[in-house]
Structure formats: structure tokens, C-alpha cells
Structure 1
Amino acid sequence: MGVGYKDIYQRYTQSILSGSLKPGEKVPSIRVLAQDLGVAKKTVEAAYDILIGEGYLVSRGAKGTLVNPDLKFRETPPEAPQPLEDPRLQELLELRDNPGFLRLGIPALDAFPHKKWLLLSGKAIRAMRPEEMMSPPVMGYGPLREAIANYVNISRGLNCSAAQVFITSGYKHSLALILQAMTGARDKVLFEEPGYFFGQKLLKRMVQNLHYVPVDDQGLDVDFLLRHHADARLVITTPSHHSPLAVTLSLPRRNRLLQWAQSENAWILEDDYDGEFHYTRKVQPALKSLDTQERVIYVGTFSKTIMPSIRVSYLVLPKSLVGKFTETGEIVETGQPLLPQKILTAFLSDGHFFKHLKTMRSLYQARRMMLYHALQRVYPDLFEFEQTDGGMHIIAYLKQGTQDDRLANLWQAHRLMVFPLSAWYAGTSRRYGLIMGYTNVPSEQEAVRLVSLPYRETMALLATA
């Protein structure tokens, strides 16, 4: 049965009354809508005449037909989103998505070369060709893969070609793709304890045989791995700056981990999420740079170096896995949007990325010290710190007590988006403190002002502990 004028009338009135079509919004012409619905022009004309007569639409001649700008409706509040089953996840999502200070993983957007990025964006848009409007390559835009290979070979000590680079849309996408390509239902997968909260959540959903390896001041405890989980298929680690403790995996442990992977035919996922940010002359190269037997899958991202919204990450695969990942990608992937990849290619290839990283290293080193000094000044007896070589966050460990959860809630009420360290542990053996980002702290005076905001509540909480 075809669409009649009453159907068109009802569709418009429902859309206008529900608020999905708003006052002043233009609606399709009679000819266009008739073609779209496959009806005669007179059918649409009859519906529009009624809608205009009742005041829902107004005709403005050559300007077209609009929803009546003078319509006034009582605004109905949007439906509240359903709360998540996991209250901890709900809380951390709010921390991640809401504006505030001391946020984790957000680069210094005030120091980003916006004008240069916009110029490159305009050039990329104007240079788009008709053939580039087809489905993008599943492994990524070829020139970007070349640029990434050149970058990681120089900056992180790798030895790879563009054929080994696979472009993804972020850490969780990278992790899911690796699990789909590399692991079966019974394969044992190892994760760090503590470890990245959202990675932990994803692993619990996708991996049936998940186990944890503790982290100490030398990084992942490889001896523990060898004693208890030598039969693992895959270990996921952050060797440059552990997430969240920011310690670096020692060289002896790196070598033992690589030897284990070779002898057991196992694989290592190296998450180098902020390896670019090191503030001492003692710079550890990527674990992948030591990988002579091709057992490491390297994961990098531009979310921490450029902007989170760009959603471009990448894998550097062992040569033996390129075919497997290509096949998996062709089955489960559609390729990433081309335009952001083209802009990023120009940013890397023209030398802007290296220059930006150099600026950020100096800036972050200064801003980290600003936050350290502010915390020590305002809370001299509350926190202790473990100095690390780099990264984008610090941990203020509680000298006494275990109430980092409650303390974090107090600070969050002042828009200080800190995380409780204990939430990143899967087991019962935990450390306690606040995880804080410092990359957007503009001055030490501002840092003092910010951390002083919850001072009274913090002291009151400690008094009752």
C-alpha cells in the first residue's frame, strides 16, 4: 500500500511535536520529497497545504518551505540515560567525558599548532580525488603507513616497513583486533596488575582465560610470569611507562620476557601509549626494538600526542602476522576514515610532528614539576611520590589510609578529574592514591589554587580515618 497525503501529514506533525524537526528548519521541496517517497507531486502538495493551513509549516517562496519559526512548544527534558550495571565504570566514564582539570591522557591542547593543522586540513580536503571516495584500505592509507614506519624507526628504534603497519581507531579497537586475530577461546592471556581500567574491562568481556601479573618498581614481574603462567599465549604490557604506575620495565626483564616469548611461541603486545614523553637523558627504546625474533606486536597512538578526537592508532606487526591480520581485517573491519589519515600524513611527513613533540617534552617536564610542588605545598603530610622518567600523569600515593575512592569523589566535586589508584587493580592486594594528569596545568600558582579547592573536605576525611 502506497504513502498517502495523510501519512505524510502525520509524519511531519509527529516530527515537529516531538522536537526532532525544529522551528525554522527547512523541509524538502514538494518535487524532491515526491521523488524520494515515490508518490505524485499532488500527494505531497495536499499534505503541505494542510500543514501550512494548520500553521506547522510556512512557505517562503524561493527560499523554500520551513517549519513555522513562530511555533512554541513546552520543552520536554531528554530522557535520562539508563545507568550502567557497573557503578565504577559509570563513574570513570563521567570522569573521562566531562570537562575539568587534571584529566588523564589529554595532551596540552593550548600548545597545539592549530593554525598549521587547519592549513593542512584545508589542503587535504581540496586534494581529495574521486577514486578516494571508495572504501578506504582496510590496513590504512598507504602514505600514512609509510610515514608511521619512518617515524617509529627513527624515534622508537624499530626496524619495520610500511607493510607491517595497520591503522586502527584507538587502543580498544587495536586490542580487540589483536585478540580476534591471535587468540582462541582457551588461550591464556596475561594483563598487568594494576592495569589500564578500560583495557581490563574489555579483556574481561573478550577473554575467558584471563590472568594477571603483578608490577613492581622494575615493571612487569617476569619471574612471576615464568613461575605461574609460562604457558600463556599473549601478554599485554606497557613497558615504557606502565599504566598507571609509570615505572619502566628494566632491561634484564625485557630480555627475559623476549626469551620466554621465543621459547614458548608466545606473543607480547607492547602498548607504547605515551612512550614519546621522556624527560631524562636515559631514554629506553621500545621493547619492539630488541625483538630480533619477531614476537612483539607494537601498539602506538596519536590520541596522546595530537588530540584524542583524531581516533588514529596503529599496530606494527611481526612480518609473519601481516597475512593473518590482513585476512582478519578484511572480515571484521571496514577501514578507517581517509581524510584524518591524509591530514595526519602531512603533519608527519612535513616535520611538524617531531617539532611538536620536542615542544611538548619541555612543556610537560615543567608542568609536572608545577603539580608536584603544588601538592607538596598544600598537602605536605598527605602524599608521597615516586619519581619516574616520563609520561603524562603522576600518582600521589597516600602516606596512610586506604580511602582513595572517597578522596577522589571529594576532589571530583571540585571538577578535579582524578582517578583512585585502587580502582585499577583486579585483585585485593592494592596500593592507594590519586592518579592526576598534569599536561594542561598552566602555572604553579594555578596548580596551587586547584589542589587547594578540596582542602577542607580532604582534611575532614583524614580526621575521621
Structure 2
Amino acid sequence: MTGYKEIYGRYRQQILDGRLKPGDRVPAIRVLASELQVARKTVEAAYEILTGEGYFVSQGAKGTRVNPALHVPAMTSIVTAVPIPVPSSPTSESKSELRLGIPALDAFPHKKWLLLSGKVARSLRPEEMVVPPVMGYQPLREAIANYLNISRGLNCKAEQIFITSGYRASLQLILSVLAQPNDKVVFEDPGFFLGQQLLKHIAPNLHYVPVDQQGINVDYLQCNHADARFAIVTPTHQSPLAVSLSLPRKHQLLEWAQQNNSWIIEDDYDGEFHYTRKVIPALKSLDTHERVIYTGTFSKTIMPAMRIGYLVMPLGTLRRFSELGQILETGLPLLPQKILAQFINEGHFYRHLKKMRILYQQRRRLMLDAIQFVFPDLFEFELTGGGMHIVAFLKCSMQDIALAELWRQHELCVRPLSSWYMQQQKRYGLLIGYTNIQSFEQAQAILQRVAEKTRAMMLV
């Protein structure tokens, strides 16, 4: 449980390290309390201490900021920062329902986004119309670092943030920078299907480690692939089973990486969406030996069309990422980066996440009720504390591939669970997105389109 001392310590350290600068705005008390899922009094206590010590100033309706008059002595970093030189039409699937990983498009603050977009576009300066920075727009890197440090428990600096075009770009860049041609890479089984497809092409020595109710089986990893150089994991909400990596296994995995000089690539693809009072910190927050490379994306929290992701580079790798990044990457377009930075810095991102957590919890319940109403004897569920999709396990059948194909013929874009496995031991079911379901009646009507043919298939 996050306490006021921890919140106070995180902010104080960020200010002393220069990651938060005089005049920077911090989230409102109620917004941060919701983000960390703690009582408002906990955040109030931390803010009061920070204000009393002169780190924060309250400006009423303008919010709370780092004291503009604050003078922080320059601190010499252990690691020298690397200077950064400034150098299709929609498919039928895009119109389908129940798609995985698509945020609630009806609940996005379109007007606010459009206002910010216009404001940012009008403020574009001539010097910004050249090639964008390869590692990303500096204010966005700072905003992401601040967000991760407060909300995900990390301890990173802006110069550790590398802005990419998404998960696959991050993964490819990491392996290009750090991997040797025949390094052993291990991946979760089942695991994210797009990650599997990419790794089959870029990681010739690829192996799989099974996942159970506690996440990736670290005992199996140590017994069978202790010599692996990279372990790619989704510890907060495992993709696709949505289970969380247990704390003992987190420590076990970190110890394995430290002892074997291996790297853990943490994909925190929807870690923001947890529906219980218990906030699950990122694996990276426990990493004391700099063996975890943290990756994230705004596809699930803002919109997939943004094509903006990021990775947190370990301090000792900054030069390698910078040097090879200049060759491999061209830098994302500047305008969407500036809009996103403004969206985060003005507090809209925090408020949007708070709204989406409540909404997704409600919509998951609607979808579950509809599935159980239309198919009372077909599926069973193992609900977890978060995520953006439902795993509907088939009770008495292994025909999930055929069933998914039937549903897709009726524009229901579900996916068969068994196809995400690479080893022989599998489970069978459907992965069903629910984030754009707005009512029980809508969910019921969608499922009724395939009800008769589904029952007929299950009777064969």
C-alpha cells in the first residue's frame, strides 16, 4: 500500500534529481489519489509536507506546482547523459466488434484533444519544422518519466526514455541494440501473438516458458533456459491470460537476471487498468540492478492511431541506444508528440485514466452478464483484477479456432486462445474485448447474431 511518506519521497527525489523543475504542475490531489488508489488524505499529507518544506506551492484554481522560486543545487549524475543531436484505409476488421486492445472510443475527450491539437499546431515554430529528435520530443520524455515515477513506481530520468512507434518497434530496437545474433530469447506461453510473429523473424534462438495462475513459471525458466539472454514478460496483466506475476516470482525472476547478466523486457501494455484497491507496481519498480527494460504504449490508453510507445533504457545502455538509434530510427512526427505532452502535462491524461477504470469495470460486468445469459453452459471464467478483455474458457470443447472463425464471419473480432500457445499443453477459449460495449442490450444483441450457429457447432 502506498503511504504518504512514499509519495513525499518520490516527489522530493524527482525535484532533487531535476526531473521535476520549478514551475512544473503536479496532478491534483483527488486525481493522484485515484491514480494510486489511496485515500485523498494520504496524498494531502504528502502535499502538505512538500508545501511546508517549500517544494510545492498551491495556486488555488491553477493547481499545485513545484515552487517556481525553488533553487535546487546541481547534482552530478553517476552516468553522464548522452547528448541528443537534433538530426492506409481501414480494413473490415477495424469495423468489427469485440476487438481486443481498442480503448473506449466513445468516451475519449475528443473536444479537449482537438483544442489542444489546434493550439499546438498554431504554436509550431520554424526551428521545429526540421527532422524531429530521434529519441523523442524532450518535453514528452519528461512527462512520461514523471508519470511513470509517480504512477508506476519507477525511478527513471527523462534521458532514459526513448519514444518509439509502439511495442514491436520497441522490441526490435532493444534486440538490435543489446542482442547478439544467437542469443537465447524466452517468451511467455501463451504470449502476445504479434510479439510471437515478430520474434520468429528476428530471434533465431527463440524458446517458450509456460504461464500458470501466478504468471510465467520461473522454475521452468531456471531449469530449462537458465542461459537465456532475454526474457520477455507481461507481469502486470499477462497477455492473454491477464494473471499477475506473483511477488515471489518477481523477485525470483529479477535474481535470475542479475545472476546471469540477462535482460528482462517488461511489457506493461495495460497496467493502468486495474479494478481493485490494490495497485500492482511495475516489475521495473523492484529492479535494483538495472536488468529490466520497461516498455509501454499509448495505444491502450489514448488511441492505437497515435502509434506512440516508449521504452525506459537502463542507465548503462544510454550510449548504445543513442548511437544505434541514430541509425535505425528516424524519429516520430513532432506534432502528435507535442499534443500528447500537453495532454499529460495539463492533467487530462490522469483524469482520462480515472474515468476509464470505472467505465471498463462496468463494461466488463455488462459483457460477462450478456455471455452468461446467451451461453449459460458454454463458457467458464477466471476473473482477474484488471485488463481490457475477457478470457472465456470453453467448458467441454477444444474447437476454439473454428468457433472464433464462425464469430468473425459475423464481424465479431474475437480470437481463439489456443492459437496463442506454441507448446503442446494448451487451454481453449475465446478472447473477447468489451471496452466499447455500452449496454447489456447491445452486448446481448451482438451475441445473439451467433447464438444459434454456436450452439449447433457445439452439439456436433
Structure-2-length-normalised TM-score: 0.80
Please name the residue that 1:442 is paired with: 438
Please name the residue that 1:113 is paired with: 109
| In 1: Cα distance, 2:219 partner to 2:273 partner | 28
Give the unaligned 5+ runs of structure 1: 1-92
Please name the residue that 1:393 is paired with: 389
State the shift of 1:348 in Å. 0.2
State the shift of 1:98 in Å. 3.0
Please, which of 277, 280, 285 is the counterpart of residue 276 of structure 2? 280
Q: Residues 94 and 120 (structure 1 numbering): CA distance in 2 closer, same or farther, change over 3 Å?
A: closer
Please name the residue that 1:354 is paired with: 350
| 1:416 paired to 2:437 | no
Residues 290-439 of structure 1 aligned to structure 2 (within 5 Å): 290-439=286-435
| 1:163 paired to 2:159 | yes
State the shift of 1:428 in Å. 2.2
Residues 95-174 of structure 1 aligned to structure 2 (within 5 Å): 97-174=93-170
State the shift of 1:284 in Å. 1.1
Please name the residue that 1:204 is paired with: 200
Other structure's SS at 1:454 match = helix
| 1:230 paired to 2:226 | yes
Residues 447-458 of structure 1 aligned to structure 2 (within 5 Å): 447-458=443-454
Farther off after superposition, 425-434 or 343-352: 425-434
- Report the AA paired with residue 266 of structure 1: S
Other structure's SS at 1:334 match = coil
Please, which of 216, 231, 241 is the counterpart of residue 245 of structure 1? 241
Please name the residue that 2:9 is paired with: none
| In 1: Cα distance, 2:459 partner to 2:432 partner | 23
CA RMSD of the aligned region, Å? Answer: 1.0
Please name the residue that 2:27 is paired with: none
| In 1: Cα distance, 2:159 partner to 2:382 partner | 40
- Report the AA paired with residue 403 of structure 2: L
| In 2: Cα distance, 1:207 partner to 1:452 partner | 43
| In 1: Cα distance, 2:324 partner to 2:257 partner | 23
- Report the AA paired with residue 116 of structure 2: L
1:341-381: CA deviations, max 9, x gaps?
00000000000000000000000000000011111111111
1:408-465: CA deviations, max 9, x gaps?
111112211100111111122211100011100000111111112111101110110x
1:286-305: CA deviations, max 9, x gaps?
00000011110000100100
1:219-274: CA deviations, max 9, x gaps?
00000001011111100000000000000000000000000100100000000000
**Alignment size in residue pairs:** 371
The structure with the larger Rg is 1
Q: Give runs of ≥4 in structure 1 deviating > 2 Å.
A: none
- Report the AA paired with residue 290 of structure 1: L
Please, which of 250, 255, 258 is the counterpart of residue 254 of structure 1? 250
Please, which of 259, 265, 278 is the counterpart of residue 261 of structure 2? 265
1:48-93: CA deviations, max 9, x gaps?
xxxxxxxxxxxxxxxxxxxxxxxxxxxxxxxxxxxxxxxxxxxxx9
1:319-346: CA deviations, max 9, x gaps?
0111111111011111111000000000
Other structure's SS at 1:400 match = coil
| In 2: Cα distance, 1:258 partner to 1:360 partner | 31
Other structure's SS at 2:95 match = coil
Other structure's SS at 2:146 match = helix
- Report the AA paired with residue 313 of structure 2: L
Other structure's SS at 1:212 match = strand
Give the unaligned 5+ runs of structure 2: 1-89
- Report the AA paired with residue 311 of structure 1: R
Percentage identity across paired residues of the two chains: 63
Structure-1-length-normalised TM-score: 0.79
